[in-house]
Structure 1
Amino acid sequence: MREDEARTRLLARRAELDAEDAANADSRDTVELQQDSVGRLSRMDAMQQQAMAQATERRRKAERNRIAAALARLDQGEWGWCTVCGEQIAERRLAHDPSIATCLKCASAG
C-alpha cells in the first residue's frame, strides 16, 4: 500500500468516525429518571443503551487516536515500520488496517 493511499483511507475513516459521533450524540446523553411517565424497566433499558453508546464512543475515540498516530508517522516518514522493533510491517497487515503500528511478531508478543 502506498503512503498516499494509506493517508486517504485514514482520513476517510476519521471522517466516518466523526459522522458516527454526530449521529449518535443524543444516545450518550444523561437518562432522565421520570418516575411518573416511564416504567422502571424502560429506564433500565435506556440506561443500558446509554452505557453501550458511551462504550462505542470510547472505541471510536481509541480508533481516532490510532489514526492520528498513523498520520503522524506518515508525516515523519515512519509509517509502515514497527514502533516496537523497527522492522517493516507486512504489506497485507497494513492493507487490512493502515493505522497498525506494530508488526505481527510484536503484536503477538504483547
Structure 2
Amino acid sequence: MRQLPQPSTADLDLVRVLSAFADPVRLELVRALAGVREPLGCGVEGFDVEISAATLSHHWKVLRDSGVTTTFASGRNRLVELRRDDLAERFPGLLDAVVADSAR
C-alpha cells in the first residue's frame, strides 16, 4: 500500500485543521474514524452520511490535505485513518475535544 501525499506533522496548520472540522459531514467522518483503531475503507456504505461518492471523495481530500487523516491506496481501494499522534503532537487535546463535543 502506498500513502497518498499529506502535510508533514510540522506543517499542520491550526486554521486548516479547524476548517476541516467545521463541516458537519467531515465531522461525522472524523467521529466514525475516532471510534476505531484500524484504517477504514473510504466508501459511502461504511459511514452514516447521505452524499454521493464524488462528494465523499472531496471530503476525504479536504481531511487529508489539512492533515487530519492519512489515506492509503492499494489499487482502486482506499483506506483512511486519523493522524491521532500527529494531531496530538501539534495540537494537544484538540482531537479529543472535537470528538467529545460532537458526540453531544
TM-score per shorter chain, which class? Answer: under 0.3
Question: Between Structure 1 and Structure 2, which shows a larger proportion of strand residues?
Answer: 2
If asked which structure has higher relative contact order (CA below 8 Å, sep 6+), I would say 2
Q: What is the TM-score of this pair, normalised by structure 1?
A: 0.26
Rg larger in structure = 1
Flag the structure with higher helix content.
Answer: 1
